[in-house]
């Protein structure tokens, strides 16, 4: 047994099942160890190849959100890891547990400063707070266990283990003993529960702002019962990691992206309980717009932040409120489908919400085109939504890949745009390679529409350079051609009827399918 086999064996014993990989020379012992570990037992670690490292890290994020446990990534030295950073930023914001395995030059070769050498720890420190550089081959199982323990401690985090090539190859006879050490969540703060109960009781127009684990599962269920009992409106954070939505589920209205709209909405309530996330701030700071919407208000209670056990805190809050006091809810209304054949974000959103199957996982990463969908999805069949948590554009197609690996029996829908999808088009190839059940809808408006909106809001008439640097119309990206070239069938649609039929075709495919909705 060499060091790499020790580490991969430990990973398998600890229940890791998937490795999203883009290996290089310094990672080949790990690649070979995946085969060795696979040969003996019947439950090896599945390797999924990405043609770009951001595919691997985005997939690991999507996998973690759905599986509730980490995937491994396998990345090549500093530059390979650098390519995967942006989606690790999103994973960090999502509190997704991810274990990055990074190969490094042989220990004795570091000082040679060979071309690919760099200070990897600067990068791992940016992407997460736990990094270790392995020092002995015999420690590699222990190092992996420690990395995994750190990754799943608390709400979850991104961790990185740097393993020099010589340690991977070195024979190991006596492995260092290892154990999984996991730090749990802090106990629910009774004082804040009590304060939240009194705040809700005193309010006439209460709201609860939910984030993190309060947006699905037991957290959302408790929030729904609290809404029924108090009449509180449920609001959701802008950049959510995972949300359950659809008919029969508590209705959550996502906070608007633009700050004055968010601030206006929140000003409407005389009590706001925040659970599962921090107090809301604007996505960007504008000198003439609000930025910290709840700051200075006396009628808010921060029940649980993103690092705390929001579902338990919401359960405790339920217990603190008098039973049976059902309140008239002010439910969030789903809009009516406006009809019409011409495609725009509203029609696309309405059609998608109507066609998506039960239990779908909808990755919502279109930037300017996604808002209407969120409203129509309130009336869709029950499903899960995953969104962009860190604002690093270019994750959707990779996140969908990872979600499909985590939940092979569910249909994954990537609701993406042309501008944001273009950063990560390589993910389509991995989807085709493993036959991932991902149906992609590209909202193709041929521009970075969000930047145009920012210009319009600032009252600036764009000059020719500004128009050039925000448009994607010259040449027009042919998404169907891109998909086909990477093994994913698809079609372009120009109106509602075609979109409806295309969705039905795509959702019936056994593997990936791409629909370019042009408008």
Task: Examine residue 169 and tell whether it contacts a second copy (CB under 8 A).
Answer: yes
Closest approach, Cβ 311 to a second copy, in A, equals 23
Q: Which of residues 409-448 bind a second copy (CB under 8 A)?
A: 419, 422-423, 425-426, 429, 432-433
Closest approach, Cβ 34 to a second copy, in A, equals 4
Closest approach, Cβ 222 to a second copy, in A, equals 25
Q: CA 432, CA 50: separation in Å to the nearest integer?
A: 11
DSSP for 403-421, written as a single string: HHHH-TTS-EEEEEEHHHH
Task: Examine residue 510 and tell whether it contacts a second copy (CB under 8 A).
Answer: no
Total number of residues binding a second copy (CB under 8 A)? 100
- Residue choice 381, 391, 495, 505 for contact with a second copy (CB under 8 A): 391
Residue where the block lists tokens 């304060």: 195
Task: Examine residue 285 and tell whether it contacts a second copy (CB under 8 A).
Answer: yes
Q: Which of residues 60-89 bind a second copy (CB under 8 A)?
A: 78-80, 82-83, 85-86, 89
Task: Examine residue 394 and tell whether it contacts a second copy (CB under 8 A).
Answer: yes
Task: Examine residue 286 and tell whether it contacts a second copy (CB under 8 A).
Answer: yes
In angstroms, the Cα distances linking 4 to 15, 38, 395 are 17, 13, 30
Choices 104-112, 172-180, 224-232, 399-407 (CB under 8 A): range interacting with a second copy: 104-112
Task: Examine residue 166 and tell whether it contacts a second copy (CB under 8 A).
Answer: yes
Task: Examine residue 35 and tell whether it contacts a second copy (CB under 8 A).
Answer: yes
Residues 6+ apart with CB under 8 A from 81: 53, 75, 100, 102, 120, 123, 124, 160
Residues 6+ apart with CB under 8 A from 261: none
Closest approach, Cβ 152 to a second copy, in A, equals 23
Closest approach, Cβ 115 to a second copy, in A, equals 4
Q: Which of residues 448-477 bind a second copy (CB under 8 A)?
A: 450-451, 454-455, 458, 460, 462-466, 468-470, 472, 474-477
Q: List strands edge to edge, sheet with 438-444.
A: 243-245, 383-387, 361-364, 412-417, 438-444, 513-518, 490-493
Task: Examine residue 171 and tell whether it contacts a second copy (CB under 8 A).
Answer: no
Closer by beta carbon to a second copy, 271 or else 482 = 482
Residues 6+ apart with CB under 8 A from 439: 411, 412, 413, 414, 503, 506, 507, 509, 512, 513, 514, 515
Closer by beta carbon to a second copy, 96 or else 410 = 96
Residue where the block lists tokens 């985090």: 157
Task: Examine residue 109 and tell whether it contacts a second copy (CB under 8 A).
Answer: yes
* Angle, helices 53-67/85-94, rounded to nearest 10 degrees: 20
Q: Which of residues 219-258 bind a second copy (CB under 8 A)?
A: 238-239
Alpha helices in 41-139 (DSSP H): 53-67, 77-83, 85-94, 120-127
Task: Examine residue 32 and tell whether it contacts a second copy (CB under 8 A).
Answer: yes
Q: CA 65, CA 400: separation in Å to the nearest integer?
A: 11
Q: Which of residues 11-30 bind a second copy (CB under 8 A)?
A: 21, 23-26, 28
- Residue choice 13, 36, 225, 509 for contact with a second copy (CB under 8 A): 36
Closest approach, Cβ 148 to a second copy, in A, equals 21
Q: Taking CB under 8 A as the rule, which mask of x and - marks residues 316-355 in contact with a second copy?
A: ----------------------------------------
Closest approach, Cβ 145 to a second copy, in A, equals 22
Q: CA 211, CA 235: separation in Å to the nearest integer?
A: 9
CA end-to-end span of the chain: 58
Residue where the block lists tokens 């006091």: 325
Closer by beta carbon to a second copy, 105 or else 192 = 105
- Residue choice 303, 392, 399, 414 for contact with a second copy (CB under 8 A): 392
- Residue choice 236, 290, 390, 490 for contact with a second copy (CB under 8 A): 390
Q: In this structure, what DSSP letter does residue 294 have?
A: T
Contact 133, 104 (CB under 8 A): yes
- Residue choice 56, 363, 486, 493 for contact with a second copy (CB under 8 A): 486
Give SS3 for 482.
Answer: helix
Closest approach, Cβ 406 to a second copy, in A, equals 19
Contact 39, 408 (CB under 8 A): no
Q: Taking CB under 8 A as the rule, which mask of x and - marks residues 113-142 in contact with a second copy?
A: xxxx-xx--xx-xx----------------
Closest approach, Cβ 47 to a second copy, in A, equals 5
Q: Which of residues 296-315 bind a second copy (CB under 8 A)?
A: none
The phi-psi region of residue 471 (left if phi > 0; otherwise alpha if psi is between -120 and 50; otherwise beta) is: beta
Give SS3 for 104.
Answer: strand
Q: Show the CA angle centred on residue 12, arms to residues 6 and 14, nearest 5°.
A: 100
Task: Examine residue 288 and tell whether it contacts a second copy (CB under 8 A).
Answer: no
Q: CA 350, CA 340: separation in Å to the nearest integer?
A: 11
* Angle, helices 53-67/396-406, rounded to nearest 10 degrees: 50
């Amino acid at each position: 047994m060499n060091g790499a086999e020790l580490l991969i064996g430990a990973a398998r014993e600890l229940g890791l099942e998937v490795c999203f990989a883009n290996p290089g020379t310094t990672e080949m012992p790990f690649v070979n160890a995946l085969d060795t570990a696979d040969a003996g037992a019947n439950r090896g670690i599945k390797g999924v190849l990405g043609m770009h490292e951001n595919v691997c890290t985005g997939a690991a994020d999507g996998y973690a959100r759905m599986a509730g446990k980490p995937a491994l990534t396998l990345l090549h030295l500093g530059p390979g890891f650098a390519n995967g950073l942006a989606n690790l930023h999103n994973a960090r914001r999502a509190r997704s547990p991810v274990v990055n395995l990074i190969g490094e030059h042989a220990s004795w070769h570091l000082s040679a400063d060979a071309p690919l050498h760099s200070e990897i720890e600067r990068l791992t420190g940016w992407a997460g707070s736990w990094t270790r550089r392995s020092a002995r081959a015999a420690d590699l199982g222990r190092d992996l266990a420690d990395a995994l323990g750190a990754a799943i401690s608390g709400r979850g985090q991104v961790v990185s283990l740097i393993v020099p090539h010589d340690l991977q190859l070195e024979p190991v006879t006596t492995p260092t003993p290892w154990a999984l050490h996991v730090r749990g969540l802090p106990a629910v703060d009774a004082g804040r529960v009590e304060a939240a109960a009194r705040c809700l009781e005193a309010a006439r127009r209460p709201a609860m702002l939910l984030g993190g684990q309060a947006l699905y599962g037991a957290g959302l269920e408790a929030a729904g019962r609290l809404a029924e009992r108090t009449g509180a409106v449920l609001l959701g954070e802008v950049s959510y990691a995972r949300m359950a939505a659809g008919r029969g589920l508590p209705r959550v209205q996502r906070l608007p992206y633009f700050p004055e709209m968010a601030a206006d909405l929140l000003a409407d309530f005389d009590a706001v309980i925040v659970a599962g996330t921090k107090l809301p701030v604007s996505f960007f700071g504008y000198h003439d717009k609000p930025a910290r919407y709840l700051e200075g208000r006396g009628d808010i209670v921060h029940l649980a932040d993103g690092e705390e056990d929001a579902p338990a805190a919401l359960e405790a809050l339920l217990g603190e409120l008098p039973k049976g006091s059902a309140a008239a809810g002010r439910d969030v209304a789903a809009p009516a489908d406006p009809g019409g054949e011409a495609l725009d974000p509203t029609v696309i959103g309405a059609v998608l919400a109507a066609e998506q199957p039960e239990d779908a996982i909808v990755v919502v990463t279109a930037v300017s085109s996604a808002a209407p969908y969120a409203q129509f999805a309130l009336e869709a069949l029950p499903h899960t939504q995953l969104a962009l948590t860190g604002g690093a554009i270019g994750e959707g197609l990779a996140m969908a890949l990872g979600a499909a690996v985590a939940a092979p029996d569910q249909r994954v829908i990537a609701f993406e745009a042309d501008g944001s999808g273009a950063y990560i088009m390589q993910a389509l190839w991995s989807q085709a390679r493993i036959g991932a059940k991902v149906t992609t809808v590209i909202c193709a408006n041929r521009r970075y529409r969000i930047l145009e909106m920012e210009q319009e809001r600032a009252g600036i008439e764009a000059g020719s350079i500004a128009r050039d640097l925000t448009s994607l119309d010259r040449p027009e990206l042919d998404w169907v051609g891109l998909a086909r070239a990477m093994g994913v069938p698809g079609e372009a649609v120009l109106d509602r009827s075609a979109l409806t039929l295309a969705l039905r075709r795509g959702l019936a495919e056994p593997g990936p399918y791409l629909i370019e909705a042009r408008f």
